[in-house]
Amino acid sequence: MNLTNALFAASALVSVAATAATADTITIATVNNGDMVRMQGYTDDFTAKTGHEVEWVTLEENVLRQRVTTDITAKGGQFDIMTIGMYETPIWGANGWLVPLDDLSEDYDADDILPAMAAGLSHDGTLYAAPFYGESSMIMYRTDLMEKAGLEMPKAPTWEFIREAAAAMDDDANDINGICLRGKAGWGEGGAIITVTANSFGARWFDEDWTPQFDQPEWKEALTFFTNLMNDYGPAGYATNGFNENLSLFQQGKCGMWIDATVAASFVTNPDDSTVADKVGFALAPNHEGVEKRANWLWAWALAIPAGTQNEAAAKQFIEWATSKDYIELVAAKEGWANVPPGARTSLYENPNYQEVPFAQTTLDSILAADPNNPTVEPVPYVGVQFVAIPEFAGLASQVSQEFSAVYAGQQSVDEALEKAQAIAMEEMEAAGYR
């Protein structure tokens, strides 16, 4: 009795002392995606393990980007951890604005991070951000509608098949669109899908001398195909649809096919939110017949530490906690394997429990199919699949994608848009001194 009490008191003392010695409060800026919101819910687990408190700044993607970019470039020091993507990480890492993550603990097993993800989040071989979850793009389709149309989805279809299937599944009377794709302006929205579509038609943003390539026939072919496909079989107003709009359309059973982020798979198969949860099949993103690249993108939301933070040690502890194997186990135990953050670790895909999740294999195959160093058929001077990892890209691509959205809305022709895109790209690249 006394002994237990004494032990209890002693351990309480020790833990108080430990907490007092190291307890910090770290401020984390993050995006309001489902997996991050879930992570916030488990903050108590982190605090219990380390004693550190966490302040969350959760913002919508565009606002987050603008907020963290301002802070890191002006060295405002407002955040101890920033949630950033594959686009920002190599650029910021090269500028020396991020703390290198090359000394993570043995337990953390950094070699377990999927090689494609680690490559996209590194500069000169040094990891600057740890992936919280990773994604590629793939086809999600309605198995019941496919059957009704008398077709069978190949494991790796072509765009030509997608068009045929969209035509067969499109059903205006029942409010079903053959295919849903993003058309919304913004480089991370509609810009991502049209860029990978162009890649799969053999097009590229720049040639090896940084000359914009929008005047080449491949771009015209890709944009024309995309616009026709969506005008014929896409939802009304797709020019303003982004990831969220398409997700809710698909969940309401209004899309036959949807090509988008692999992380969407867990949302469309979740019976709480989706009316079609048990009727979804998955396949690799398509390619144009005869082109060897598929419309696979590669993206990761990752946690990085800005250089100069006062709480570097605590921030590292948090990153090790949030992107660890243990965190995945924790979520799996509480909410099931389908809800764990996907696409970051090799071990997850070797886990027999996870292999039972219906979309696990296609997700892995899609991620493996994307190669940020060789995104297109012809060689390019840049890194990145659905983006070009140079500082000027965000501004340039958001303008270009606005021109494309105007095509989707029927406000200008494919030729006009490509001509403007070429002019905008030339202007920006000259201003930045590439040419």
Q: Which of residues 5-44 bind other proteins (CB under 8 A)?
A: 27, 29, 32-34, 37, 40-41
Closest CB to other proteins among residues 67, 325: 67
Closest CB to other proteins among residues 48, 74: 74
Q: How many CB atoms lie within 10 A of CB 392?
A: 15
Closest CB to other proteins among residues 247, 344: 247
Is residue 340 at the binding interface for other proteins, with CB under 8 A as the rule? no
Which two three-digit tokens encode residue 14?
């020790």
CA distances for 273 relative to 45, 61, 91, 142, 247, angstroms? 27, 22, 37, 16, 10
Is residue 363 at the binding interface for other proteins, with CB under 8 A as the rule? no
Residue of the chain from 118, 402, 421, 429 that contacts other proteins (CB under 8 A): 402
Is residue 368 at the binding interface for other proteins, with CB under 8 A as the rule? no
Task: Give the end-to-end CA distance of the chain in Å, rounded to a whole number.
Answer: 80
Residue of the chain from 179, 394, 400, 425 that contacts other proteins (CB under 8 A): 394
Closest CB to other proteins among residues 79, 159: 79
Residue of the chain from 47, 158, 248, 346 that contacts other proteins (CB under 8 A): 248
Which two three-digit tokens encode residue 77?
């020091």
**Binding window for other proteins (CB under 8 A); candidates: 12-20, 163-171, 221-229, 391-399:** 391-399
Is residue 269 at the binding interface for other proteins, with CB under 8 A as the rule? no
Number of residues that bind other proteins (CB under 8 A): 71
Closest CB to other proteins among residues 22, 244: 244
Is residue 245 at the binding interface for other proteins, with CB under 8 A as the rule? yes
Is residue 273 at the binding interface for other proteins, with CB under 8 A as the rule? yes
Residues forming a β-bridge with 30: 58
Q: Give residue 174's identity as a one-letter amino acid code.
A: N
- String marking each residue 293-312 x if it binds other proteins according to CB under 8 A: --------------------
Contacting other proteins within 81-110 (CB under 8 A): 91, 95
Taking the complex as a whole, the smallest distance from the CB of residue 248 to other proteins amounts, in Å, to 5
Contacting other proteins within 45-64 (CB under 8 A): 55-63
**Binding window for other proteins (CB under 8 A); candidates: 16-24, 151-159, 217-225, 233-241:** 233-241
Taking the complex as a whole, the smallest distance from the CB of residue 17 to other proteins amounts, in Å, to 27
Taking the complex as a whole, the smallest distance from the CB of residue 106 to other proteins amounts, in Å, to 32
CA atoms within 13 A on the CB side of 300: 33
Is residue 184 at the binding interface for other proteins, with CB under 8 A as the rule? yes
Residue of the chain from 162, 396, 425, 429 that contacts other proteins (CB under 8 A): 396
Q: Is the dihedral of CA 89, 90, 91, 94 positive or negative?
A: positive
Is residue 158 at the binding interface for other proteins, with CB under 8 A as the rule? no
Taking the complex as a whole, the smallest distance from the CB of residue 32 to other proteins amounts, in Å, to 5
Is residue 415 at the binding interface for other proteins, with CB under 8 A as the rule? no
Closest CB to other proteins among residues 369, 407: 407
Closest CB to other proteins among residues 347, 398: 398
Question: What does the H/E/C string look like for the chain?
Answer: CHHHHHHHHHHHHHHHHHHHHHCCEEEEEEECCHHHHHHHHCHHHHHHHHCCEEEEEEECHHHHHHHHHHHHHHCCCCCCEEEECCCHHHHHHHCCCECCCCCCCCCCCHHHECHHHHHHCEECCEECCEEEEEEEEEEEEEHHHHHHCCCCCCCCCEHHHHHHHHHHHCEHHHCEEEEECCCCCCCCCHHHHHHHHHHCCCCCCECCCCCECCCCHHHHHHHHHHHHHHHHHCCCCHHHCCHHHHHHHHHCCCEEEEEEECCHHHHHCCCCCCCCHHHEEEEECCECCCCCCCCCCEEEEEEECECCCCCHHHHHHHHHHHCCHHHHHHHHHHHCHHHCCCCCEHHHHHCHHHHCCCCHHHHHHHHHHCCCCCCCCCCCCCCCCCCCCCCCHHHHHHHHHHHHHHHHCCCCCHHHHHHHHHHHHHHHHHHCCCC
Taking the complex as a whole, the smallest distance from the CB of residue 27 to other proteins amounts, in Å, to 5
**Binding window for other proteins (CB under 8 A); candidates: 10-18, 195-203, 229-237, 376-384:** 229-237
Is residue 392 at the binding interface for other proteins, with CB under 8 A as the rule? yes
Residue of the chain from 23, 45, 77, 368 that contacts other proteins (CB under 8 A): 77
Taking the complex as a whole, the smallest distance from the CB of residue 385 to other proteins amounts, in Å, to 20
